[in-house]
Amino acid sequence: MHALQPLLAAFVPIWALTAVGYLVSRTGLLGEQAELVLGRFVFHVAMPAALFTMLAKAPLGTFANASMLAFATGTLVASLLGWAGARWLFGRAPADRAISGMAAGYVNSANLGIPVAVQVLGDASFVGPVLLFQVLLVTPVILGLLDAGTDGGAGGGADGSAARATRSARVGRMLRLPLRNPIILASALGALCSAVGWHPPAALGQSCQLLGNAGVPTALITLGMSLHGRPSTEGNTLRAEVGLAVVAKNLIQPLVAFAVGSLLLHLTAHQLLAVVICSALPTAQNVFIYARQYGLNTALPRDSVLWSTLLSMITLSAIDWTLAPTSH
């Protein structure tokens, strides 16, 4: 029997910590700058520590398999749909398009994916490759687009030499991105440690682990703080944009993964269930953190995280009931 209660247990911490953040902001307990400071702490300190720790001990070859091809295809289609909608339907700027694409296709694979996988699949072995794929391939692309889209030195010069200088500056900025961005730098260092088989000393590894453990709860509290005192000024436009992101995330991404996995790759029943379940996970709170860090409008990622998380309880249960083997 496929019950909703085991899945509910995985979602409760998300809603609880988000509610704590809302109450903290409503009471003014941490002051006016708390949301900004906590967001910077997650982006610059806690999240890099978590990614380094995870990648340093992860076998990098695990995400090169047929199941990941189905997952990657669903991610690509959903992300492109979010990006295209932001450009042609809602007229968003380039950096906001990157956030829209990420909101539509970047799954909450860590703090929600692991408990859901354990409950539905019996183990979390497929979540590891999903994490590697998002951290090593998707995240650098998104952050590169955000960095380029928020570059203040984009003024076009009147002559060719000025234009060439601008292009050179942009190229140099992009080449330095791994050194300037703590998320990419920590991921690269962790992947390098894994590739060469070097493990950090126990004291350093435990310190990074403790620091990284603060990332997810702090991000959720920051998300909850953003819900207080932030009435939307975009009305129907924002609702339509959030609706597109949620439909792409909760429905289109798992449907594409299912089609590719079943019709083209002929995955086994368990492999197919793992791919579709992970594809149907809701939008990760990282999207909100990145939008806040780059000074973008956080209404879309905030609402996308909340609504996709709420609706995913229904879609994940439906997928489990439909695709799980009878012996599950």
DSSP character string of 234-277: STHHHHHHHHHHHHIIIIIHHHHHHHIIIIIS---HHHHHHHHH
Mean pLDDT over 123-134 rounds to 85
Counting the structural domains of the chain, the total is 1
pLDDT at residue 158 tops 50: no
* Structural element, H or E, at residue 115: helix 113-121
- Cβ-Cβ contacts under 8 Å for 316 (sequence gap 6 or more): 7, 116, 120, 277, 280, 281
Q: How many CB atoms lie within 10 A of CB 262?
A: 17
79 part of a folded domain: yes
**pLDDT at 153 (0 to 100):** 35
236 part of a folded domain: yes
* Per-position b or e across 287-310, b if 16+ CB within 10 A of its CB: bbbbbbbbebbbbbbbbbbbbbbe
**pLDDT at 252 (0 to 100):** 98
285 part of a folded domain: yes
pLDDT at residue 80 tops 70: yes
Mean pLDDT over 81-85 rounds to 97
pLDDT over 90 percentage in the chain:
55
215 part of a folded domain: yes
292 part of a folded domain: yes
Of residues 170 and 242, more confidence is placed in 242
Of residues 167 and 108, more confidence is placed in 108
What CATH number is given to the structural domain containing 50?
1.20.1530.20
Of residues 302 and 154, more confidence is placed in 302
The 8-class DSSP code of residue 64 comes to -
Mean pLDDT over 1-20 rounds to 76
Average pLDDT over all residues of the chain:
86
104 part of a folded domain: yes
pLDDT in tens, 97-128: 999 999 999 999 877 887 888 778 877 778 88
The range of the structural domain enclosing residue 63 comes to: 5-323
184 part of a folded domain: yes
328 part of a folded domain: no
